[in-house]
Structure 1
């Protein structure tokens, strides 16, 4: 019963706190920066986030891109893969900033505010993840709006990610209240 109550509270908080701040590319407001959340390399999740970011850049809705992910992840160097994809698809290197320590959603948000000084940004991730990302960044003082990243995702993997997201909202609410310091991962040499 307690787990259901906590999860329900977390999910409700993320949807209420991000209400009116989630958009599709066509309806997204302008912002100086797009923050792209990392994901396992070579997956449709990451590709969808990057394609959506490219659409924002081409539409003139953002001037630069912060790619934030785990550079030492077990699935590969997320930020290297993200940067390479953006460069290959016409986003100039001068417009890309790399945060290799965005090992989770909270770290990406906290580092965007505390390390990179972002006060206004568009956050790019899939719709199931967007409410938590927007809510966390806004709780840290960023004027953040989210943009739904497309994804040719489905099946069991998508269901697992969506279910995992419900439980992740509990930790997100805790982090939004107590604002832990972002962690610092160690990078491979």
Structure 2
């Protein structure tokens, strides 16, 4: 009895560590893939939302916004679309918080367009695509965290969007989010919202 329990525990441990190692390596792969992307000169930049505490963007969201500012200031894009709704634990929409941050950093409000309804990556890009069509834009750079960028680009291309990407470099504090992204990546693939690679 004791031996069989020990064997069961050993098998469970090996399965867990194997899965854990896969998730860790896949998260690293996604991060490195995102960082390899290069933006092309485009009409707009789509900044994907992340958690905001009132009008205080989280560190990952600040990283995305700074990356978008870099593209705007260097003339890679002329306009910005900020995409993100209001989560249950947020008091304002991510889009409103992002727009305020960009304006406070010198971006004219008339070049910033908002999507305040999106709840996930698929909606971010579907709603941004609709907004681009209304504005007559045909090209965009997607800006998001490095580990998130491969999925965002895959979704955009599934939707038929003409996009390139630019990654906000993630920090060690985002390692949990990077691991969650592995499961989101697999889930989107199974739902047919993106190819596996």
**TM-score band, normalised by the shorter chain?**
0.7 to 0.9
Retained in 2: the 8 A contact 1:106–1:175?
no
Asked whether 1:29 is paired with 2:6, we answer: no
Q: For the structure 1 residues 175 and 108, does the alpha-carbon distance in structure 2 shift closer, same or farther, using more than 3 Å as the test?
A: farther
Counterpart for residue 97 of structure 1: 113
Judge which range, 61-70 or 72-81, deviates more.
72-81
Counterpart for residue 187 of structure 2: 171
The one-character-per-residue Cα deviations of 1:89-135 (angstroms, maximum 9, x if unpaired) are 01111100000012111101111223432532100011100000000
Aligned equivalents of 2:88 and 2:123: distance in 1? 14
Q: Tell me the TM-score normalized by structure 2.
A: 0.72
Alignment counterpart, residue 133 of structure 1, candidates 152, 172, 190: 152
Aligned equivalents of 1:130 and 1:19: distance in 2? 5
Larger radius of gyration: 2
Within 5 A, what are the aligned runs for 1:110-125? 110-117=126-133, 118-125=137-144
Counterpart for residue 154 of structure 1: 172
Aligned equivalents of 2:125 and 2:36: distance in 1? 15
Asked whether 1:39 is paired with 2:39, we answer: no
State the secondary structure of the residue aligned to 2:193: helix
Q: For the structure 1 residues 83 and 20, does the alpha-carbon distance in structure 2 shift closer, same or farther, using more than 3 Å as the test?
A: closer
CA deviation after TM superposition for structure 1 residue 80, in Å:
1.2
The structure where helix makes up a greater share of residues is: 2
Root-mean-square deviation (Å): 2.7
Counterpart for residue 104 of structure 2: 88
State the secondary structure of the residue aligned to 1:113: helix
Provide the aligned length of Structure 1 versus Structure 2: 161
Aligned equivalents of 1:21 and 1:137: distance in 2? 17
Counterpart for residue 185 of structure 1: none
Q: Tell me the TM-score normalized by structure 1.
A: 0.75
Asked whether 1:56 is paired with 2:56, we answer: no
Structure 2, gaps ≥5 residues long: 1-14
CA deviation after TM superposition for structure 1 residue 169, in Å:
1.0
Counterpart for residue 95 of structure 2: 79
